[in-house]
Structure 1
Amino acid sequence: MANPRFIMKKIWTDVDFFEVRLCLYGSDCNVEIDIYLNNGQLEELKNGIANFTNFLGKNEFIWVTGHETENTTHFLSMRFFLQDSKRGMGGIEVKVDNKQEAPYSMSANLYIVTEINQLDDLALKLEKFIHDEIIEIESLL
């Protein structure tokens, strides 16, 4: 069985937001980052992925949390694009920066290639995560 390339686990919750540990696995690079999110941000991600898979080849979808240039807690950008329409493959370009000082600083740029049906699976699991039916997502096999 293939290993998941997207793992998100809720590690702390508050009334308005929560902290997740996000692990992303590219072909040559792995990233683990703890970030603060809210359900509105995850709704935007879920809806963007669903729209991307429904209108394949006509668009790309970019989801960003944090800021690249401002002094924030993190920066994460995920660009969803069509990798190979004949084989039904989608790609995700990931840019991440934990915005910490050395020796704890980390920034990475990696790509994940996956089947379009795996993006649909991620959107379904995000829906369950938002509604607190699950506290961990493993997707993009």
Structure 2
Amino acid sequence: MAIISEDDIEQALLSRIKQAYGYELLNCFTASADDLNDRSNRTDKRHVVLVDRLKKAATSLNPGIPEKSINEAIATIMNRRVGFEPIAVNRELDGLMRDGVPVEYDDENGRSQPGIVKLIDFDTVNNNQFLIHMGRTNVSN
């Protein structure tokens, strides 16, 4: 009888999800936790958000919002919330992901306008990108 490893199960499941749902797979394994060449394009292993992918998605989902406001929304998401209760932080980030990030920007007449930077399109699922990353190492303080 063949022995099935945890990796065999993981690889079979990942393959099935990729085929059935079109998810992209990203293997971020590196031999050293200090190695930033893990294909995630992170500049710091403490970051769990893949900023370049988030910016690309936010730009695509919010064509009427200026790049400066999209960058501000991403900065809001990336803001380190040190010293806050983890449950409160999770609720805040959940709300921002679900409802979008409030921003203000100047319209073509120079008037300040409120806006919402959507991070996920719940109405048209195919407008989103789905990624499974494996072997990602996070470094904490």
TM-score by length of 1: 0.28
Larger relative contact order, structure 1 or 2 (CA cutoff 8 Å, min sep 6): 2
Greater helix content: 2
Greater strand content: 1
TM-score by length of 2: 0.28
